[in-house]
Every structure is written in structure tokens, then in C-alpha cells.
Structure 1
Amino acid sequence: MPGFLEGFFNIRRGEVLSVFLAGLFFFCVLTALMLLRPAREALGLQGGVESVRWLFVGTAFITLLVNPFFGLLVSRLPRLYFITATYAFFAMSLVGFYFLMVVTPDAIGVVTGQIFYVWFSVFNLFVTMVFWALMADRFSLGQGKRLFGMIAVGGTCGAIFGPWLASILADPLGTPALLLVSTVFLGLAVGIAWLLAWQQPEKPRPEDADDPDAPPAVDEHAIIGGSAWEGFKAVFRSRYLMGIAAYAVILAIMATFLYFTRLQMVAELGDDLDYRTTIFARIDLITQVATLVMQAFIAGHLMRRFGVHITLALLPLTAALGFIGLAAVGSLAALIVFEAVFKSVQRAIQRPARETLYTVTSREDKYKSKAFIDTFVYRGGDVVGAQTEGLLGRLGMGLAGVAAVAVPLAVVWAGLALWLGRTQQRLARAPIRDASAAKGHSAQAAVDPPRS
């Protein structure tokens, strides 16, 4: 690899294939999701903005129900098998929705659209969670700082390619056929996951003081073990995992404030379903392009030079400034700019940094605790954000009221980001005890910082 590429993109010669496969894996996952997302938004809005708030409650409830089943898969199956089973379940669900739309098209109405909205939300959370869990299991902390931003580029390319592909195929094939196309990309993602998992991790360089140990070679036939509820219990036993959960809750609240502000502004433009879908797709396109630029040229350098703690704190700063500006201007154009900046920072900078937090936890926590945090805890934050925003609206406080809540919360969020980053640094210098390798694993000892 030419030296300037190694220095600019932070990718070493022996990592090129692994990073390429990881990016291609994420490309397929995000293509499968973004093929369907604009339609999900428009279908959910058919029942009105207020109904969407309760759809968030339904999504949180379903994720809580699904988590024990995923935990059971993790406890009973080798890594690649439970990843395959998770993706296969959602692929079969897509096929089921396809036959429903083709065989009984008259049954597609507001209720069916709301069911699809909830299902898609669960689908979105689990397939991305599984991807990043595998990344945290496959790469070390030092590699994550350098590589997760570039790996995320693959996902952003998929998020751009998905809506474009939908626009090309929707007319000749029909909207139901997009579900089958999404299923194909999920199948491709599984195949690439197997290729990636069997790649041997690169040995670290001696000069890498921040990453002295390579990720341990994983026996793909090994079973992590433990109980189906271990991820839930581990979160409440560990200050570090509780901190990650709190960070996720505040992130969800902020994103939900922005999301419902967007829904209300778009709803005021008219009732036409196709027009609303077009507006949502255009906002997503602007966001993805901005994200791509940040991921390719900024994210890896930020984490490596300034640390995870500073990188995690950038999104709270963006949220505080954005809500202040939105309250002052209050236009759809200002919303689009704020949302593009917020989501691009979230996806390009904050998300890769947040995923590195799991590189210093046990393998059991990488999958079980992460699943609980990234699905139920995150959706719980969605519910809190949705109901809070609705209460502020009923009180007539509008954007000013949202900003009055969001800005102080962003300050707390930034402080939490700094604490998580510093704690991660201490944990990186301590050995990680793997629950699958030793009985009597203590989540508290595994993920809490050592006391001096």
C-alpha cells in the first residue's frame, strides 16, 4: 500500500482485506435497510404524528421481548451461527410481508403500515447492532480508533445506494418487490460476515503503545454460553455499561426531539403520501453525502489524535448549538441543515467512537449487553423523548421548549462522554476476563475501571 494511503486513511497493509470485507458487509446491511426506510416513514405518518409516539412505545416493548431470544441464541450457538440466524429471521419476515402485500393488497392500510413501522424499527436496530458487535469482537481498541470510521463508509455508501436503487426498481418491479431485493442484500451480508470472521487478525506493531495486544484469535465453533438474560443483568452490575446505556438514552432523546420536529414540519406540507416520501428521501440523501465525507476524511483521525472522549463529546456540542439555532429560526430549511449536520456527526464520528467502547468488554457483553443497550435501552430513550416532546407541544412551548430541555441535557451528555472515554482508557490497560473462557465471570470486575 502506498505510504500516503496508509498515513491518510490509517489502514495498514495487512488490514486492507478485513476493512474491505467489513465495509462491504455494512454496505449490504444499510442497502437492505435504506431500500425500505422512506416508505416506513411515510406509512407510519398515515395515522398522524401522535400515533407515531405510540409506535415508539410498541417498538420498545417488542425489543424487550426479542432480547431474551437473541440472548438465548448467543448462549447456545457459535458466533457465526447466531449472526446467521438473526439475519435469516428478518429475511424470512421480509418475504412474509412481500406475500402479504401481493396476495392481499386490499389489507394494506393504516394498521398494517403501523405494524410494518414497528417491525422495521426492530429490524433496523438488530441488524446494525449485530454488525457492530462483530466489529468490536473482530478488531482491537487501537484498530477501532483507526478503522471504524472507514468501515462505516461502506454503510453510508449503502445508505445512498439503497434509496437510489429503490427509485430505479420501484416502477418496473413494484414496491413489494423491494422487500425481496432487501432480502437478497441480507443474504449477501451473511456470506460476507463468514468471510470476515475467518480472516486472521493482523499482528499489532511494537510501536503501537495504545494497542499492545491484538484481538485474540476466536474459535468460530466456540459457544459464548451464559444465560439469556445475562446481558440485562450485566448492565446493572457495571458502572461502565450503565454509562454507555445512559449515553444511548440521551442520544435517543435528542434524536427523537429532532425526528418529531421533522415529522411535524413535513406533515404541514400536505397529506400526499408520495410527496412526503420524496421529502424524507431527499433529507436522507443530503445527510448521507455529508456523512460520507466525514467518515472518509475525518473520523479516523479524530479518534486517533484526540481520543474517544473528545470524539464522543462532539455530538452533544452539535446538539446544543443546533437546537438553539433551530429555536431561533424555526424554518424547514434550518431543520434540514441541523438534521444533516447532527446525523452526519452521529453516524460518521459518534457511532464509530461509541462502538469502540465495547472493544474493552468481554465477548458476552459485546453481544448480550450491547443488544440490550442498543435495542431496548435505546428505544426506551425514544419513548421518553417522544412523550416529552409531545408534552411540550401540548403545553404550547414549541421549539423554544424543546431547546430549553435539550441544551442542559446536552451538557450532561458531554460530561458523560468524557467520563466514558477516560474510563475506556483505563480498561484498555487492564486484562479483559472473558465469560466464555472462565466460569464465575463477574461483569463488574470485567468492565468496571480498577480502583486505585
Structure 2
Amino acid sequence: MKAHLQDFFNVRREEILPVLLAVLFFFCILTALMLLRPAREALGMQRGIELVRWLFIGTAVVTLLVNPLFGLLVSRLKRMQFISITYVFFALSLVGFYLVMMLAPEAIGVTSGQVFYVWFSVFNLFVTMVFWALMADRFSLAQSKRFFGLIAVGGTCGAIFGPWLASQLATPLGTPALLLISAGFLLLALLLAWMLTRLQPRPVHGQTGSDEAAPAVDENALIGGSAWEGFRAVFRSRYLLGIAAYVIILAIMATFIYFTRLQMVAALGDDLDLRTTWFARIDLITQITTLVLQGLVAGHLMRRIGVPITLALLPITTLLGFVGLALVGSLAALIAFEAAFRAVQRAIMRPARETLYTVTSREDKYKSKAFIDTFVYRSGDVVGAQLEGALGRLGMGLAAVASVAVPLALIWAALALWLGRTQQQLAESTLSNPDNPSSLKGA
């Protein structure tokens, strides 16, 4: 029975403890985020959907400003030191928001809600980016294909548990208390990160030097380099530039869906509680769908059909979804499409996309990934928001959005196939010459 369970979850005996710690780590991060997300969505809409487009621009600017600071930390500090500073900073920020809500409630208004919207968006990007960067640094490519999907289950469970916990505690403790609870989960995640990095990878029997062996990392070693090296590396490498393009298209598509949802929910009425309830319901349906896919499909999919096809599944889902939404155009159709989009994104595409970084240098895992997953992603949000707004002003509705989304999805799918194949070539190159790992320059 134990052997069957290990085979089903794609985890060997010596990998069980680090994978379990990673699952709990991601659970705590998503719990911290999802405790607060429905309120973020509702606060952002207080002055209308058009202002949300400007909040996207503000988020992109803030991520651009924060990136060199994060790059400086990566260059000057040990791995767990810069990870700790990142998580502690956001935890203290939550405590700061709590103190403002408790000591100066008169300061809470539309402007403070907008500040929280931008801050939460940056918080969301950085804490998840750091998590996946550590996973790519801790596990090999072959391991990532086998159980990144399983690790993502922890995040989905946290995304389900967070809203439920908020619904149980908001009334007896008050909404401000949720900020402290979120900070507590973030600090617990940091503790689990320390435990995970203290478990040094052990060679797999008969697999020493192969892609099955987890990379050994010197915790005292500094990554070094320039604070802006992540930005420069993206434009020197076709591979990293391809990942950036994939992420931009992902963000544009997600933003198209996001603003379509805002408009349909806004049409239901101006009541803040009603909007928050609808956003929470959509999140719950999405998370349950995601959990089913992660538990039954994701871990086996990458191993059997490969990363290229796995990465292409989301573009195909998006193409079909926009065609269906243009034909039907109802809130129910949108909820079904968004649930399918997010489920495939989180359960299948996200673990596959994170495996792309397992063949990059350690500097690229943290610096280039930070630039791509924060500023590049938010730039895609801005492009998507402005483009969707322009199409809406033409008065063509969902048909106009679909006319852009469908051809873009085809380009996205082709890019997914190229990235997956290039990853395999880089992995084979590294295995054949382990003493000279690819720096990805020109790759």
C-alpha cells in the first residue's frame, strides 16, 4: 500500500519530508493571501472600474521600484536571509495596517483602500514568487515534474481554508484581526522555509549525477552580482525572454477575464457586501476545481505528456473559453470559464511554468524570476486593462475582446511548445557538461 501511494503521488521515501514541508509552506502562504483577497477586490471597486485600471499601473510602478531593492538583497545576503527579510517586511506591513485600522479608524476611506489594493497586489506577487524560486532552487527538473503539482495542492488548500477562516473569524474578532492572523501564517511559512532548507538533499540510489538528484546548495554562499542583473539577463537570453513573453500573455488574458468579471458583478448592484460575497463564491468554485485537478491530474501530466504540452493546455482552454463567452455572454458562463481558466492555470500551468526555472542559474532563479513574476506580470496587467478598456469603448463588448484573445491564444500556445522544448535541451546540455552549467546567455 505504501509503495502504491508513493507511486500515485510521484514521491519517493526520501523525498516525503521535504515535499510535506513544501506543501505546508505553500498552504500557509495562500492562507495568508486569501484571508484578505475578497476585501481587496471590493475595496478596489469603490470608485468604479476605470480607477482599477489606474491601480494596475500603480502596482506595476511599485513592482519596478521594489525589484532593484530585492535584487540588492539577493546579491548581498545568504538565501534564507533575503527570504526572511522579504516575508518579515510584509508581515510587519500587515501589522502596520492593523494599527491604522485600530488607532485611527477615521483615516480609513477610499484612498486608504486604494493603497491597500496596490500593496496587496505587490504582496501577492512577491511572496508567491519567492516561494517558487526556492522550490526551483531546492528541487531538480525531474523532481519538479513529479511533484510540483502536489506541492501546489498545499496552496489550493490554503486558498480554500483562508476564505473559510475569514468567514468564521471576521464577526467575532473583527476585520482588522484578520490582518494579524494573515501575518501569523506568513511567519509560520517562513519557519517552514527554514526547516526545508535545513534538509540537505540526499543522492538518489543509482541516480547520482542525474537529473533525479536534487541540487546541493551551500547555505552560506552568496549569489552576488548586480541588483539589476535580473533585468539585464532577461534581455540577453531568448529562453528568459520567452518566459517573460509567456507571462505577459498570461497576464493579458487573466486581465481580460478579470475586468469582464468586475463589469458583470458591478451590474448586480452597488452593495459592497454583495460584491464581496460574489467574489468569494467565484473564488471558492475555482479553488475546488483546482484542487480536483491538482490531486488527480497535475503530478502525472507533466511526466507523461511533457512540459511543452502541459504549458499549452492553458492557451487552448483560454481560446475555447473566450469563444464560448462571446457566444453566451452570461455571468454563469463567465464563472464556468473563469473557474476552468484559474484551475488549469494553478493546477497544471503554474507547476509546469515553475519547472522552467530549474534549468537556470541560481541568480536567474531569484533575480530574473523576480523581475518576470512581478514587473513583467504587472506590465501585462496594465496592457490588458488598457486594451480591454479601449475595446469596451468601441461598444463591441465581448466579441471585441474575443477577437483579440483568440489569435493571441494561438501565439501563446506556440510559445509554450517552444519553451518546453528549449527547457529539455538546456537540461540535457547541463547533464552532459555538469561542470559548466548554462548561463542561458543567448539560449
CA positional deviation for 1:9: 1.3
1:78 aligns to what?
78
Give the superposition deviation at 1:427. Answer: 0.3
Partner residue in 2 for 1:412: 411
What is the 5 A alignment of 1:180-195? 180-195=180-195
Query: Contact (CA 8 Å) 1:19, 1:151: kept in 2 or not?
Result: yes
Task: Please report how far the alpha carbon of residue 300 of structure 1 lies from its aligned counterpart in structure 2 after TM superposition.
Answer: 1.0
- Any idea what SS the aligned residue of 1:275 has? helix
Q: SS at the partner of 1:215?
A: coil
The separation in 1 between residues aligned to 2:283 and 2:208, in whole angstroms, is 38
Amino acid at match of 1:421: G
Counterpart for residue 63 of structure 1? 63
Secondary structure at the counterpart of residue 271 of structure 1: coil
The answer for the alignment partner of 1:380 in structure 2 is: 379
Structure 1 segment 7-46 matched on structure 2, within 5 A: 7-46=7-46
Cα–Cα, structure 1 residues 433 and 102, in superposed 2: closer, same or farther, change >3 Å? farther
- Supply the distance in 1 between the matched residues of 2:355 and 2:428 (Cα, whole angstroms): 15
What is the TM-score with the length of structure 1 in the denominator? Answer: 0.95
Q: Distance in 2 between matches of 1:231 and 1:56?
A: 22
Partner of 2:96: 96
Q: Do 1:9 and 1:297's aligned partners in 2 also have CA atoms closer than 8 Å? A: no
Deviations along 1:277-320, one digit per CA (max 9) or x if unpaired, are 01000100000000001111100111000000000000000000
CA distance in 2, matches of 1:432, 1:14: 22
The aligned counterpart of 2:362 is 363
Mapped partners of 2:112, 2:342: distance in 1? 29
**Superposition RMSD in Å:** 1.8
Shift of 1:80: 0.5
Instruction: Report the counterpart of residue 130 of structure 1 in structure 2.
Output: 130
Indicate conservation of the 8 Å contact 2:142/2:212, yes or no. Answer: no
1:271 aligns with 2:270: yes
- CA deviation profile, 1:383-439 (whole Å, cap 9, x unmatched): 0000000000011111000000000000000000000000000000112899xx99x
Distance 1:76 1:292 in 2: 38
How does 1:42-441 map onto structure 2 within 5 Å?
Answer: 42-206=42-206, 211-212=210-211, 214-431=213-430
- Deviation of the 1:216 alpha carbon: 2.5
Structure 1, unpaired ranges of 5+: none
The runs of at least 4 consecutive aligned structure 1 residues that moved more than 2 Å come to: 202-209, 431-434, 441-445
C-alpha distance in 2, partners of 1:262/1:206?
A: 52
Cα distance between partner residues in 2 of 1:260 and 1:107: 29
Q: What is the distance in 1 between the residues matched to 2:88 and 2:47?
A: 30
Count residues with an aligned counterpart: 442
**Are the equivalent residues in 2 in contact too, given 1:206–1:212 (CA < 8 A)?**
no
1:93-122 deviation digits (Å, cap 9, x = unpaired): 101111111111122111111110000000
> Is the 2:143–2:212 Cα contact (8 Å) retained in structure 1?
no
Report deviation, 1:6.
Answer: 1.8
Aligned counterparts of 1:306 and 1:93: Cα–Cα separation in 2: 43
Which secondary structure does the structure 2 equivalent of 1:224 belong to? Answer: coil
The residue identity in structure 2 corresponding to 1:407 is V
Q: Which amino acid aligns with 1:291?
A: T
Structure 1 stretch displaced more, 238-247 or 3-12? 3-12
- Are the counterparts in 1 of residues 360 and 438 from structure 2 also a CA contact under 8 Å? no
Distance (whole Å) between structure 2 residues aligned to residue 255 and residue 163 of structure 1 = 21
CA distance in 1, matches of 2:339, 2:429: 38
Please give the alpha-carbon distance, in whole angstroms, between the structure 1 residues aligned to 2:144 and 2:47.
42
| Shift in Å, 1:206 | 3.8
Give the letter for the 2:110 counterpart.
V
The sequence identity of aligned pairs, in percent, is: 74
Change (3 A) 1:213 1:153: closer
Distance 1:432 1:274 in 2: 55
Shift of 1:219: 1.2
Answer yes or no: is 1:4 the counterpart of 2:4. Answer: yes
Q: Using the alignment, how far apart are the partners of 1:442 and 1:69 within structure 2?
A: 26
Cα distance in 2 for partners of 1:10, 1:376 equals 34
Residue 200 of structure 1 and its aligned partner are, at CA, apart by: 2.0
Structure 1's 349 and 208: CA in aligned 2 closer, same or farther, altered over 3 A? farther
The amino acid of 1:99's aligned partner reads: L
Shift in CA distance, 442/349, structure 1 to aligned 2, threshold 3 Å: closer
Say whether the 8 Å CA contact 1:250–1:381 is kept in structure 2: yes
Deviation, structure 1 residue 15: 0.7
Give me the whole-angstrom Cα distance separating, in 1, the residues matched to 2:352 and 2:208.
19
